[in-house]
Structure 1
Amino acid sequence: MKTRDLAYVALFAAIVAVLGLLPPVPVPGIPVPITAQTLGVMLAGSVLGARRGGLALLVFLAVVAVGAPVLSGGRGGLGVFVGPTAGYLYSWPVAAFVIGWLTQLTWRRFNLAWALVANLVGGVVVIYAIGVPFTSLYADVPLWTSFTGSLAFVPGDVVKAVAASVVAVAVRRAYPVIELPGRRATAG
Structure 2
Amino acid sequence: MTRRPLMDVALIAAFAALIAVCAILPDIKTGVGVPYSLQTFGVLLAGAVLGPRRGFLAVVLYLALGLVLPIYSGGSSGIAHYSGVTAGYLVAFPLAAALCGYLVHRNAARATDFTLVFTCGLLSSFVFVHTLGPLNLAWRADLSIREAFTYDAAYFPGDIAKNIVMALVATAVHRAFPDLIARRRRPVDVTEELSPA
SS at match of 2:181: coil
- Structure 1 counterpart of 2:176, which letter? A
In structure 2, relative to structure 1, the CA distance for the partners of 1:118 and 1:68 (3 Å cut) is: same
SS at match of 1:104: helix
Larger Rg: 2
Within 1, Cα distance between the matches of 2:9 and 2:126? 26
Within 1, Cα distance between the matches of 2:29 and 2:84? 16
Q: Shift in Å at residue 177 of structure 1?
A: 3.0
Unaligned ranges ≥5, structure 2: 187-197
Within 2, Cα distance between the matches of 1:25 and 1:175? 30
Matches within 5 A, 1:116-131: 116-131=118-133
Matches within 5 A, 1:149-188: 149-180=151-182, 182=184
Deviation string, structure 1 residues 42-97 (Cα, Å, up to 9, x no partner): 100100000000010000111012x2100121111100111101100000000000
Partner of 2:143: 141
Q: Does 1:13 align with 2:21?
A: no
- Structure 1 counterpart of 2:58, which letter? A
Within 1, Cα distance between the matches of 2:35 and 2:73? 9
Aligned-residue sequence identity (percent) comes to 37
Task: Give the total of aligned pairs.
Answer: 180
Q: Which moved more, 1:105-114 or 1:87-96?
A: 105-114
Q: Structure 2-normalised TM-score?
A: 0.85
Deviation string, structure 1 residues 89-146 (Cα, Å, up to 9, x no partner): 0000000000000001211233111101110011233211111100111111111000
Is contact 2:53–2:98 with CA below 8 Å preserved after alignment?
yes
In structure 2, relative to structure 1, the CA distance for the partners of 1:102 and 1:21 (3 Å cut) is: same
- Structure 2 counterpart of 1:73, which letter? G
Partner of 2:194: none
Unaligned ranges ≥5, structure 1: none
Q: Shift in Å at residue 26 of structure 1?
A: 8.4
Deviation string, structure 1 residues 20-41 (Cα, Å, up to 9, x no partner): 22123689xx9x9631110001
Matches within 5 A, 1:90-129: 90-110=91-111, 111-129=113-131
Cα RMSD for the two superposed structures: 2.1
Question: Would you identify which runs of 4 or more consecutive aligned residues in structure 1 move more than 3 Å?
Answer: 24-27
- Structure 2 counterpart of 1:107, which letter? A
In structure 2, relative to structure 1, the CA distance for the partners of 1:160 and 1:183 (3 Å cut) is: farther
